[in-house]
């Protein structure tokens, strides 16, 4: 491979979770790394994305956001 560019493909999967599915539901998107959040009821939930490798050697990284759903006005 000397002098050549060789593409590196690392298969990853992202697991999405909501700490309170009665407040916010999360569903993995059709495009890698995306998700759809659906507000269900007023309250607060933490939505977490956990990146895992192909062989499931544990989490490679985690990111979380806090979502607050307000009641309709």
Q: For position 56, what pLDDT does the model report?
A: 58
Q: For position 3, what pLDDT does the model report?
A: 58
Task: Record the pTM.
Answer: 0.71
Q: Which residues of 36-47 are buried (b: 16+ CB within 10 A; e: fewer)?
A: ebeeeeeeebeb
Show pLDDT as tens, one digit a residue, over the chain (73 residues): 455 666 655 567 788 899 999 999 998 888 777 888 888 999 999 999 888 766 656 667 788 888 888 887 7
């Amino acid at each position: 491979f000397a002098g050549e560019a060789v593409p590196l493909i690392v298969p990853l999967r992202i697991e999405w979770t909501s700490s309170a599915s009665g407040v916010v539901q999360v569903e993995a998107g059709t495009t890698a790394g995306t998700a759809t959040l659906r507000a269900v009821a007023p309250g607060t939930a933490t939505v977490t994305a956990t990146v895992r490798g192909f062989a499931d050697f544990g989490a490679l990284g985690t990111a979380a956001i806090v979502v607050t759903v307000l009641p309709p006005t």
